Amino acid sequence: MSQELSKDPVFDGIGYEPSLYSRSMFVPLKTNYDFTVYPEANKDKNKKILVVCTEEKYLTMANGKKFSTGNHPVETFVPILHFEAAGFEAEIYTPTGKEVQLEMWAMPTEDDAVKGIIDKYKTQLTHPKSLHSFVANKMMSDHEYAAVFIPGGHGALIGLPANEDLKQVIDWVLKEDKFMLAICHGPAALLSGALHESPDKYPLKGYKMKSFPDAIDKQLPSIGYVPGDLPWYYGEKIKALGVEILNNDISGACYTDRKLLTGDSPLAANAFGKMCAEALLK
C-alpha cells in the first residue's frame, strides 16, 4: 500500500464513523456465509424469531463526541440467513417501532446474500413492530416466537440495557423456556434483566457466554474505530451480575449455555447463525 490509511474517525455531519484504517481491518467486502442447507427445516410458518433491534444511531462517548452506530449488518443478517434456511422467518422489533438503525459503513458491499436478505426485510426495517406494544399486549402476537435474537453493533448499548419492556421480554423468554440469542455487543441489552432486581436475583446469574470483550473495546480508540472511550463497558456490568464472559479476544467463537446462545463478534456471524439454527431444530 503506497499510503497508509488514515486512523482518524470519519465525521458524518453529526458524529463519527470508523476510520478507513479500522474499516480495512474489520469490514470485509464479503462475509463467510456458507449457504448451509438444513434438511429437517421447520415447516411451521407460524414459528418465527423475534429480533430486537436498536432505533438509536448515535452513542455519546466519554469525551462527548458521538459515534455513528446502530446494529451491525453482518451480525444481524448472516444469522437471519441461517434462520430462514432453517425455516424460521424473522420479525423485527425496536423499542417504540421507530426505524431500525444499521451501521451502513459496515455493509459487506460485495456480498449478494447479505444485500438480498436486507432488501427482503426493507419494509420491516423501515416499519418495525413496537416492543412496547408487544409487552403491553402481554406478549401476544399472531405468531409463535421460538427465540429472541439481539444483534450486535454498539447501538445495542443505547437504551436497550435500561429498557423496561426488554426486561419483561427476558423474563418471558426464561419462563416460557425459549431461546435467547445474542452476538457481539448484543448481550449488553441483557442488562435490562437486572432492572428492579438485586444483583443476586439477576435471572441470568451463573450463565456463561462469549461476546465482544471490554479489553478490545478499550483498544478501539487507538485505531479510530470509535472517536473516544466508551461511556461505560457492558462486560464489567454483566460480570458484576454473575455472568462469566469466557473470552478476552475475538476469534469467531460461539457458546451455548442452556438456551442462551452467544457469539463474540462479526467473525462469529456465520458459525453463530448455524449454531442457533441447529439448536432451534433439535
Active site residues: 184
Q: What does 250-271 look like in DSSP terms, one character per residue?
A: -SS-EEEETTEEEE-SGGGHHH
Buried b (16+ CB within 10 A) or exposed e, 223-260: bbbbbbebeebbbeebeebebebebeebebbbbbbeeb
CA distances, 84 to each of 36, 48, 67 (Å) = 11, 9, 31
CA–CA gap between residue 279 and residue 67 (Å, rounded): 35
Q: How many CB atoms lie within 10 A of CB 3?
A: 5
| 112-120 vs 73-85: helix crossing angle, rounded to 10 | 80
Q: How many CB atoms lie within 10 A of CB 107?
A: 18
CA–CA gap between residue 154 and residue 103 (Å, rounded): 9
Q: What does 209-229 look like in DSSP terms, one character per residue?
A: E----HHHHTTGGGGTSSSS-
